[in-house]
């Protein structure tokens, strides 16, 4: 069974440690699991029901929905901005939640991980992302967590993929998330 996981990164910064953590997840994914780090979140307009109409959904939003529907599970990477998740990640969840009751997140396993500069690694933001993804219809794996503190110093000179502890932990998260996918979905 091959499992496809879509990774959404809540930071648009080129040198984002969360982006690097997503790259580490892709590099260290167990055999049979492919991770696509989604490109294009910066192009998705803010959610607005006036533009979310059949035949008129903005191309960037439709591409996000199509990618999520093609995935077996989603792995969200959230830094912490002012004690909560970044707007780009919340906006992505909002687009994926529609149409109501049949959005692209509906029933798909979702896990949230991340890293942040603070001593708790962004847990508040990740908790908020879990809450939003669950309300949006995702099957959030609540006990599947990875919050890496001190990103500014920890990853100043070392890519997360080259940090043995991070590599082991992110591979375990990906493996457990892939294990939530039902064989019929994969």
pLDDT score, position 186: 58
Spatial distance between the Cα atoms of 134 and 184, rounded to a whole number of angstroms: 22
Mean pLDDT computed over 2-22: 96
Tokens of 168: 């082991």
Residue 13's pLDDT band (boundaries 50, 70, 90)?
Answer: very high
Residue 101's pLDDT band (boundaries 50, 70, 90)?
Answer: confident
CATH class entry, domain 3-179: alpha beta
Mean pLDDT computed over 50-57: 94
Mean pLDDT computed over 46-59: 96
3-state helix, strand, coil in the chain (%, to 5): 40, 20, 40
pLDDT at 184 over 90: no
Work out the percent of the chain whose per-residue pLDDT is above 90: 94
pLDDT score, position 90: 98
3-state secondary structure of 99: coil
Tens-place pLDDT, residues 136-174: 999 999 999 999 999 999 999 999 999 999 999 999 999
Residue 181's pLDDT band (boundaries 50, 70, 90)?
Answer: very high
pLDDT at 89 over 80: yes
CB 58 within 8 Å of CB 44: yes
- List phi, psi (to 5°) of 107: 75, -5
Spatial distance between the Cα atoms of 48 and 167, rounded to a whole number of angstroms: 38
Residue 185's pLDDT band (boundaries 50, 70, 90)?
Answer: low
Work out the percent of the chain whose per-residue pLDDT is above 70: 98
The pTM is what? 0.96
Tokens of 9: 């990164």
């Amino acid at each position: 069974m091959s499992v496809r996981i879509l990774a959404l990164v809540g930071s648009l910064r080129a040198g984002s440690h969360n982006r690097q953590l997503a790259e580490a997840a892709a590099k260290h994914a167990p055999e049979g699991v492919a991770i696509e780090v989604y490109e294009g979140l910066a192009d998705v307009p803010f959610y607005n029901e006036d533009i979310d109409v059949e035949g008129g959904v903005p191309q960037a939003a439709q591409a996000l929905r199509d990618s999520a529907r093609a995935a077996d599970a989603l792995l969200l990477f959230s830094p912490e901005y002012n004690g909560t998740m970044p707007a780009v990640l919340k906006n992505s969840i909002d687009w994926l939640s529609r149409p109501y009751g049949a959005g692209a997140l509906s029933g798909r396993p979702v896990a949230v991980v991340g890293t942040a500069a603070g001593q708790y690694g962004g847990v508040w933001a990740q908790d908020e992302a879990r809450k939003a993804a669950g309300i949006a219809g995702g099957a959030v794996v609540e006990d599947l967590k990875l919050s890496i503190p001190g990103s500014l110093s920890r990853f100043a000179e070392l890519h997360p993929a080259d940090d043995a502890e991070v590599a082991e932990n992110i591979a375990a998260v990906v493996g457990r998330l892939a294990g939530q996918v039902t064989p019929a979905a994969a």
